[in-house]
Chains A and B, each alone.
Chain A
Amino acid sequence: MKAKIRKIVTFVEETRSEMGKAVTPPTRRAAAAAVVENPFAGKYVEDLAELMEIGEELGTLLTERAVAALGIPGPSAESYGKAAAVGENGELEHAAAILHPKLGTPVRKVLGTGAALIPSSKKRGGPGMPIDIPLGHKDAAFVRSHFDGMEIRVNDAPRANEILVAIAVTDSGRPLPRVGGLTKEQIKGEDGLR
């Protein structure tokens, strides 16, 4: 493995009621996050190919971990998202190199499908900084019930020369969706949008 991983953290959240109203079945989200060494910390490097390969490795590893944490087969996942936080000696472009060129294909391989763009966010910061992973339906980005986000944080990461990379997967949308829009039953599945 190219990625030098210090730590992997998984998070599972299960919401069973909101405002006293039962959520049936409960909605569940999982995120898997890896803390990796940033090979380019502290200097400007033109060619970011190594980080792209790290992204490809993490796409498989973290998606498998997140799905396993939910205890479901990959194709049962409904929405997904990704995010990276670069420690203070790195640049935002390092997060972009991990997230955008090669990470998506292995994510979709683990999940079976994934026509929709994987929503993403990135930032720079220090240990303990919360990151909000945006979530969207994996086959149709416009499914409104699945517009969501999941906050995670790892108290001792990212250190200055590290990058925190996270992938979130759900088996459901928001707990009590009722603002209309495209529903998952209406997905046509042709363009990843509707």
Chain B
Amino acid sequence: MPEVRVRKRAIIIEEIFHEGGPPAEKPLRRGAALVVIDNPFAGKYVPEIASFMEDLKPLGLDMAKSLVAALGGHPKAIEGYGKGAIVGQHGELEHGALWHVPGGYAMREILGGAKAIVASTKKVGSLGTRLDVPITHINASYVRSHFDAMEVGINDAPRADEILLALVMTTGPRIHARVGGLKASEIKGEDGLR
């Protein structure tokens, strides 16, 4: 099993008071935990890669915990989430897909069994590449007020043989959400959708 080798970690926290409208009673916080790891499969086609997902699980849990801590330390305060990966140019998109299971599992675990699928995106990129990580409500994907995204990136990552992994969480709806749709207060919570 390849070892997970971390070069760098970063935490980004945005606190949004308003966007031209009335300041919200509770500012919206968006946070991202980013980790830059070696890509053990860089530079060659490796047919069997799936076992690396298991290796990434402890890292995912560690990132999810750090992110909750940076957002105030209360898992119950987290309302939206998403995840993503940027694969350095000696890797393939499929290497980014390795993050789906450990990244999603980690956040569900830390947030106490969140029901909705974790929105995600990935791409191949280089140093400074930006990724718009999609965000949806943790218990019901259709909650319209919580459709959001957070742009993340690190200026010196990913190098060609690296992968940048991202987890993103938010503490509420968009700051001036007002386009209708399913509300967080209307969640049935049966299927992760509504």
List residues of A whose CB falls within 8 A of some B CB. 5-18, 20, 69, 128, 130, 151, 154-155
Contacts of B15 in A (CB 8 A): 7-9
* Minimum CB–CB distance for B102 against chain A, Å: 19
Q: Please tell me if the beta carbons of B8 and A15 are within 8 angstroms of each other in the complex.
A: yes
Q: Please tell me if the beta carbons of A5 and B12 are within 8 angstroms of each other in the complex.
A: no
Q: Please tell me if the beta carbons of B130 and A155 are within 8 angstroms of each other in the complex.
A: yes
Q: Give residues 58-89 of B contacting A (CB, 8 Å).
A: 70
Q: Please tell me if the beta carbons of A6 and B19 are within 8 angstroms of each other in the complex.
A: yes
Q: Give residues 145-191 of B contacting A (CB, 8 Å).
A: 151, 154-155
Residue of B whose beta carbon sits closest to that of A12: B11
Give the CA-CA distance A39 to B14 in the complex, in Å.
23
Q: Please tell me if the beta carbons of A14 and B16 are within 8 angstroms of each other in the complex.
A: no
Can you give 15 A-B contacts (C-beta < 8 A)?
A8-B15, A10-B11, A10-B13, A11-B10, A11-B11, A11-B12, A12-B10, A12-B12, A14-B10, A15-B8, A16-B6, A16-B7, A17-B7, A69-B70, A151-B155
- Lowest 6 A-B CB distances belong to which pairs? A155-B151, A151-B155, A12-B11, A8-B15, A14-B9, A10-B13
**SS of B interface (majority):** strand
Given A13-B154, A155-B130, A155-B151: A6 touches B16 (CB 8 Å cut-off): yes
Contacts of B41 in A (CB 8 A): none
Q: Please tell me if the beta carbons of A13 and B8 are within 8 angstroms of each other in the complex.
A: yes
Q: Bin the interface of chain B by size.
A: 20 to 34
Give the CA-CA distance A110 to B70 in the complex, in Å.
21
**SS of A interface (majority):** strand
- Beyond the given pairs A8-B17, A10-B11, A12-B12, 9 more chain A to chain B contacts, judged by CB atoms under 8 angstroms and listed by A's residue number, are A8-B14, A11-B11, A12-B10, A12-B70, A13-B10, A13-B154, A16-B8, A17-B7, A151-B155
Give the CA-CA distance A6 to B24 in the complex, in Å.
11
Q: Which of B5, B13, B18, B155 lies in contact with A17, CB distance below 8 A? A: B5
Contacts of A151 in B (CB 8 A): 155
Contacts of A8 in B (CB 8 A): 14-15, 17
